[in-house]
Amino acid sequence: MIVYGVALLSACLILGMLIGEVLGIALGVQANVGGVGIAMLFLVLASNSEKFKSMVDGVSGTGIQFWSAMYIPIVVAMAARQNVVAAFEGGMLAVWAGVLAVTASFALVPVISRIGRPKADTDQNEESS
Protein backbone atom coordinates (compact mmCIF):
# COMPACT_ATOMS: atom_id res chain seq x y z
CA MET A 1 0.00 0.00 0.00
CA ILE A 2 1.39 3.35 -1.10
CA VAL A 3 -0.01 5.05 1.96
CA TYR A 4 2.26 3.01 4.25
CA GLY A 5 5.31 4.69 2.73
CA VAL A 6 3.67 8.11 2.93
CA ALA A 7 2.68 7.47 6.54
CA LEU A 8 6.21 6.40 7.45
CA LEU A 9 7.57 9.56 5.83
CA SER A 10 5.03 11.67 7.74
CA ALA A 11 5.82 9.96 11.02
CA CYS A 12 9.54 10.61 10.51
CA LEU A 13 8.92 14.32 9.81
CA ILE A 14 6.62 14.80 12.80
CA LEU A 15 8.94 12.96 15.16
CA GLY A 16 11.96 14.91 13.89
CA MET A 17 10.12 18.23 14.21
CA LEU A 18 9.02 17.40 17.76
CA ILE A 19 12.60 16.61 18.76
CA GLY A 20 13.79 19.78 16.99
CA GLU A 21 11.29 21.87 18.97
CA VAL A 22 12.29 20.24 22.26
CA LEU A 23 15.98 20.83 21.42
CA GLY A 24 15.17 24.47 20.69
CA ILE A 25 13.44 24.91 24.04
CA ALA A 26 16.21 23.05 25.87
CA LEU A 27 18.81 25.35 24.32
CA GLY A 28 16.69 28.44 24.93
CA VAL A 29 16.44 29.18 21.21
CA GLN A 30 13.33 30.46 19.43
CA ALA A 31 13.79 28.02 16.57
CA ASN A 32 13.48 24.40 15.61
CA VAL A 33 16.95 22.91 15.92
CA GLY A 34 17.61 20.42 13.14
CA GLY A 35 14.09 18.96 13.03
CA VAL A 36 14.25 18.19 9.32
CA GLY A 37 17.76 16.75 9.60
CA ILE A 38 16.69 14.47 12.46
CA ALA A 39 13.62 13.40 10.45
CA MET A 40 15.91 12.53 7.54
CA LEU A 41 18.07 10.42 9.83
CA PHE A 42 14.97 8.52 10.99
CA LEU A 43 13.98 7.82 7.39
CA VAL A 44 17.51 6.65 6.54
CA LEU A 45 17.50 4.36 9.57
CA ALA A 46 14.02 3.03 8.81
CA SER A 47 14.80 2.35 5.16
CA ASN A 48 17.91 0.41 6.17
CA SER A 49 16.18 -1.65 8.87
CA GLU A 50 14.51 -5.05 8.61
CA LYS A 51 11.60 -4.04 10.84
CA PHE A 52 10.30 -1.43 8.43
CA LYS A 53 10.88 -3.51 5.30
CA SER A 54 7.17 -3.80 4.51
CA MET A 55 6.82 0.01 4.64
CA VAL A 56 9.69 0.88 2.31
CA ASP A 57 9.84 -1.99 -0.18
CA GLY A 58 7.83 -2.32 -3.37
CA VAL A 59 4.66 -0.28 -3.76
CA SER A 60 4.94 1.26 -0.28
CA GLY A 61 8.31 2.70 -1.25
CA THR A 62 6.81 4.47 -4.27
CA GLY A 63 4.79 6.57 -1.82
CA ILE A 64 8.09 7.99 -0.54
CA GLN A 65 9.68 8.16 -4.00
CA PHE A 66 6.77 10.24 -5.26
CA TRP A 67 7.40 12.96 -2.68
CA SER A 68 11.12 12.79 -3.32
CA ALA A 69 10.44 13.38 -7.01
CA MET A 70 8.08 16.27 -6.18
CA TYR A 71 10.98 17.99 -4.48
CA ILE A 72 12.09 20.11 -7.44
CA PRO A 73 8.56 21.31 -8.35
CA ILE A 74 8.05 22.24 -4.70
CA VAL A 75 11.34 24.14 -4.69
CA VAL A 76 10.23 26.04 -7.81
CA ALA A 77 7.00 27.00 -6.01
CA MET A 78 9.11 28.00 -3.00
CA ALA A 79 11.22 30.29 -5.20
CA ALA A 80 8.04 31.87 -6.58
CA ARG A 81 6.84 32.80 -3.09
CA GLN A 82 10.04 34.39 -1.81
CA ASN A 83 9.97 38.02 -0.77
CA VAL A 84 12.31 39.09 -3.58
CA VAL A 85 11.09 42.69 -3.47
CA ALA A 86 12.04 43.07 0.20
CA ALA A 87 15.45 41.59 -0.54
CA PHE A 88 16.25 44.40 -2.94
CA GLU A 89 14.58 47.13 -0.90
CA GLY A 90 17.18 46.62 1.84
CA GLY A 91 19.57 48.70 -0.24
CA MET A 92 23.28 48.27 -0.79
CA LEU A 93 24.10 47.32 2.80
CA ALA A 94 21.92 44.22 2.56
CA VAL A 95 23.28 43.39 -0.90
CA TRP A 96 26.91 43.64 0.25
CA ALA A 97 26.28 41.64 3.42
CA GLY A 98 24.56 38.91 1.40
CA VAL A 99 27.01 38.83 -1.51
CA LEU A 100 30.14 38.80 0.66
CA ALA A 101 28.75 36.20 3.08
CA VAL A 102 27.88 33.87 0.18
CA THR A 103 31.25 34.40 -1.54
CA ALA A 104 33.21 33.62 1.62
CA SER A 105 31.06 30.56 2.34
CA PHE A 106 31.50 29.23 -1.20
CA ALA A 107 35.27 29.65 -0.86
CA LEU A 108 35.29 27.62 2.36
CA VAL A 109 33.59 24.56 0.84
CA PRO A 110 36.77 22.96 -0.62
CA VAL A 111 38.77 23.89 2.50
CA ILE A 112 36.44 22.23 5.02
CA SER A 113 35.64 19.32 2.69
CA ARG A 114 39.25 18.21 3.14
CA ILE A 115 38.84 17.85 6.92
CA GLY A 116 38.55 14.27 8.10
CA ARG A 117 38.74 12.82 4.62
CA PRO A 118 40.58 9.49 4.60
CA LYS A 119 43.77 9.39 2.55
CA ALA A 120 42.33 6.70 0.30
CA ASP A 121 40.05 9.34 -1.16
CA THR A 122 42.81 11.21 -2.96
CA ASP A 123 41.06 10.74 -6.28
CA GLN A 124 38.20 12.87 -4.96
CA ASN A 125 40.68 15.45 -3.71
CA GLU A 126 42.14 15.79 -7.15
CA GLU A 127 38.71 16.10 -8.63
CA SER A 128 37.78 18.93 -6.35
CA SER A 129 41.00 20.90 -6.69
Partner 1 sequence: MEILETVFVRNSLVVAFAVVGVTIWFSYLIADKLTNGRIHGSAIAIALGLLAAYFGGKATGGSTGVADLTLLGGIGLMGGGMMRDFAIVATAFGVKLSELKKAGIAGVISIFAGVIVSFVIGAAVAVVYGYTDPVAITTIGAGAVTYIVGPVTGSALGASSDVIALSVAAGLIKSILVMIGTPMIAKTIGLNNPQSAMVFGGLMGTTSGVAAGLAATDPKLVPYGAMTATFYTGVGCLLGPSILFIIVDAIM
Q: Which of residues 54-83 bind partner 1 (CB under 8 A)?
A: 56, 61, 64-68, 70-83
The separation between CA 125 and the C-alpha centre of its own chain, rounded to angstroms, equals: 24
Task: Enumerate residues 6+ apart whose C-beta is below 8 A from 56.
Answer: 5, 8, 46, 47, 64
Residues 3-62 that bind partner 1 (CB under 8 A): 9-10, 12-13, 16-17, 20, 23-24, 27-37, 39-41, 43-45, 47-48, 56, 61
Residue 8's nearest CA partner among 49, 64, 57 is: 64
**What is the rounded distance in angstroms from the CA atom of residue 53 to the CA atom of residue 110?**
37
Least spacing, CB of residue 109 vs partner 1, in Å: 4
CB of 126 to partner 1, least distance (A): 10
**Of the candidate residues 3, 22, 102, 122, the single one contacting partner 1 (CB under 8 A):** 102
Which one of residues 3, 22, 57, 110 is an interface residue with partner 1 (CB under 8 A)?
110
Q: Residue 59 or residue 88: which is nearer to partner 1 going by CB?
A: 88
Distance of CA 92 to the CA centre of its chain: 30
Number of residues that bind partner 1 (CB under 8 A): 85
Torsion sign over Cα 127, 105, 114, 35: negative
Nearest approach, Cβ of 1 to partner 1 (angstroms)?
16
